[in-house]
């Protein structure tokens, strides 16, 4: 760069340079782009400062050398860079003041997703991989292909300084309902024309497949896959995000804050209602200030990328303040009534010829996320709802009466019935998540209303043994040895291991030759060269025709070369 000339900086963003920003040489102009310069021998070092509310995106920087009369003397080759939200900056809307939270909710590439049932919680590892090669480019490609961006690119770009807008777009684009989104949802077999949801171990293969195949939707996902991918994209863009699991989660279609089931006289479901209750459901929370709402709504916001109901014409949900859900403020933007029902709705069983059985505390239990302090579960239920005892106290206060009532009831001793099931009894009832649902109905003599209860029973999975002997050094080959023993009384066919890990290796499949017979131990090995230093997680999944969703994880400390 020649000296003795004036410099001007142009920042261009958007596919067709829809946004053009001129950088000023004014130190301290906090609400504007500005730069300063430092001469180093025959070069000038430019330091660029962006405002806290700058548009996030891919930028091209052009340096214009001007003559004293204001004419362009020379234009340098454009330099590309990404600009993200900055949760370390006090003036940014996503500012999070605690460093340990930032290390988890921005920097951590490995996570844990909780599944199963509220009284039998299981966990699986998940590779977010937000710092893997090409992931950031793909995240902005996701934004560029939203319905809003395709309709009005300039307006979309100008709104990208707002994390409320950006996060809402992400929840719509993670699913493919009504747009060019990432994932197609499917909740039952067969999955032969895609990847079964339980086979994914991380977000990176999904993002890369979507981009590589010309932004064609990837098959298939369910709630935890949608949430895992959303967490990757939001962390990559600089928005602190964590994955949440709500056990006994309600899906209230009509917004009446109850989940209604129709049962016939044999207590079988009559499929006339779209309401449902899931044994677990996953979404994400993102941290941001809500300048568009009254005070008290800042902090964690619910974002649910699983396609369930339309919101402003899109299959998206949120951001919705967790604080508003706890206080029952269902009129707050966005989708507060829907989220409130997921954790608070009443479950009502309507019989064909009689009124329903009411179940008050059936939903919103053990709401969970990975702890900041290690690989264990943190319960955040009290962020969403007050304790049931406190709710009951309020109900009793409103129903207070001065009358004295006496109730006499003949108590019977408790009685248990033991139901023993063999593999042949329940094999056809196993869900994708290795669970069976048991329904019990009690009809008391002289009573009009039967009592019904259901339980989801998770089956124990075999343990995956993962060993990586020796020291792990960056760019030097190591070998992982993986094994497990078939616990079933039948042979397993079509076995395949999927192995991946952020900074270790991209998703790789290892097929098992032949059958794995009852009680037989199967072992495979895989050589790879770690790509980045630090504490890394190696994730393994095993699937076959009879046994699916067997997960394992090993921790490696990858050192530098010496």
Q: What are phi and psi of 244, to 5 degrees?
A: -115, 140
Q: Pick the catalytic residue: 156, 304, 335, 346?
A: 304
User: Which run of H or E residues covers position 391?
Assistant: helix 388-398
Compute CA distances 472 → 72, 431, 464, 538, 556, whole Å.
Answer: 54, 38, 21, 12, 7
DSSP letter at 106?
A: I
Which residues make Cβ contacts (< 8 Å) with residue 482, sequence separation at least 6? 464, 465, 466, 467, 497, 499, 510, 523, 524, 525, 526, 540, 552
H or E element at residue 347: strand 346-351
Which of the 8 DSSP states describes residue 188?
A: S
Strand order across the beta sheet in which 258-263 lies: 269-270, 258-263, 346-351, 354-359
Nearest Cα neighbor of 238 from 100, 129, 92 is: 92
Rounded Cα distance, 30 and 24, in Å:
11
User: 95-99 long-range contacts, Cβ below 8 Å, gap at least 24?
Assistant: 95/289, 96/240, 96/287
Q: Residue 524: which H helix or E strand, with range?
A: strand 521-528
Helix, strand, coil percentages (3-state) for the chain, rounded to 5, are 20, 35, 45
Residue bearing tokens 């098992």: 512
Q: Catalytic residue among 156, 162, 223, 260, which?
A: 223
Instruction: Clarify whether 144 is annotated catalytic.
Output: no
- Contact 256/104 with Cβ under 8 angstroms? no
Question: Which candidate, 364, 128, 121, places its Cα nearest to that of 240?
Answer: 128
The 3-state secondary structure of 268-328 reads CEECCCCCEEEEEEEEEEEEECCCCCCCCCCEEEEECCCCCCCECCECCCCCEEHHHHHHC
Verify whether residue 281 is a known catalytic residue.
Answer: yes
540 torsion bin: left (phi>0), alpha (psi -120 to 50), beta (else): beta
Best CA proximity match to 357, nearest among 280, 243, 473, 260 = 260
**d(C-alpha 92, C-alpha 54), whole Å:** 9
429 close to 438: Cβ distance less than 8 angstroms = no
Residues 129-140 as b/e (b if ≥16 CB within 10 A, e otherwise) read bbebeebbebbb
Residues annotated as catalytic are 223, 281, 304
């Amino acid at each position: 760069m020649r000296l003795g000339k004036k410099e001007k900086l142009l920042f261009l963003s958007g596919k067709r340079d829809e946004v053009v920003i001129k950088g000023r040489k004014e130190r301290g102009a906090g609400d504007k782009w500005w730069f300063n310069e430092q001469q180093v021998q025959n070069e000038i070092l430019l330091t660029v400062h962006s405002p806290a509310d700058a548009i996030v995106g891919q930028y091209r920087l052009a340096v214009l050398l001007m003559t004293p009369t204001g004419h362009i003397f020379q234009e340098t080759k454009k330099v590309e860079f990404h600009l993200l939200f900055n949760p370390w900056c006090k003036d940014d809307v996503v500012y999070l003041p605690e460093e340990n939270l930032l290390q988890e909710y921005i920097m951590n590439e490995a996570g844990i997703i909780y599944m199963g049932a509220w009284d039998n919680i299981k966990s699986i590892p998940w590779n977010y991989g937000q710092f893997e090669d090409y992931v950031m480019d793909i995240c902005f490609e996701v934004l560029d292909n939203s319905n809003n961006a395709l309709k009005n690119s300039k307006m979309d770009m100008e709104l990208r300084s707002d994390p409320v807008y950006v996060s809402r777009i992400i929840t719509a684009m993670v699913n493919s309902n009504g747009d060019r989104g990432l994932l197609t949802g499917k909740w039952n077999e067969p999955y032969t024309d895609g990847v079964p949801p339980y086979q994914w171990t991380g977000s990176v293969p999904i993002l890369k497949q979507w981009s590589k195949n010309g932004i064609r939707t990837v098959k298939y996902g369910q709630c935890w896959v949608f949430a895992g991918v959303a967490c990757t994209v939001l962390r990559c863009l600089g928005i602190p995000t964590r994955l949440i699991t709500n056990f006994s989660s309600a899906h209230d279609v009509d917004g009446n804050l109850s989940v209604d089931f129709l049962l016939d006289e044999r207590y079988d479901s009559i499929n006339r209602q779209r309401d449902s209750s899931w044994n677990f459901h996953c979404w994400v929370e993102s941290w941001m200030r809500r300048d568009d709402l009254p005070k008290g709504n800042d902090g964690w916001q619910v974002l649910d990328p699983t396609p369930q109901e339309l919101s402003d014409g899109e299959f998206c949900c949120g951001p919705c303040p967790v604080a508003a859900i706890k206080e029952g403020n269902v009129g707050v933007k966005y989708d507060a009534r829907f989220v409130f029902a997921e954790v608070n709705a009443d479950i009502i069983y309507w019989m064909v010829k009689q009124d329903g059985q009411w179940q008050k505390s059936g939903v919103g239990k053990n709401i969970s996320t990975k702890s900041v302090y290690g690989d264990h579960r943190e319960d955040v239920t009290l962020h969403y709802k007050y304790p049931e005892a406190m709710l009951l106290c309020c109900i009793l206060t409103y129903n207070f009466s001065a009358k004295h009532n006496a109730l006499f009831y003949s108590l019977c001793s408790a009685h248990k019935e033991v139901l023993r099931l063999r593999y042949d009894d329940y094999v056809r009832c196993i869900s994708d998540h290795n669970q069976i649902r048991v329904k019990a109905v009690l009809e008391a003599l002289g009573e009009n209303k039967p009592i019904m209860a259901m339980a989801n029973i998770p089956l124990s999975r075999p343990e995956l043994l993962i060993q990586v002997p020796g020291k792990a050094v960056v760019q030097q080959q190591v070998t992982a040895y993986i094994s497990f023993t078939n616990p079933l009384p039948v042979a397993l066919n079509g076995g395949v291991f999927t192995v991946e890990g952020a900074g270790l290796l991209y998703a790789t499949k290892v097929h098992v030759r032949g059958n794995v017979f009852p009680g037989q131990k199967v072992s495979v090995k895989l050589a790879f060269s770690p790509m980045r230093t630090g504490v890394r997680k190696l994730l393994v999944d095993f699937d076959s025709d009879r046994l699916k969703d067997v997960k394992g994880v090993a921790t490696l400390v990858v050192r530098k070369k010496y």
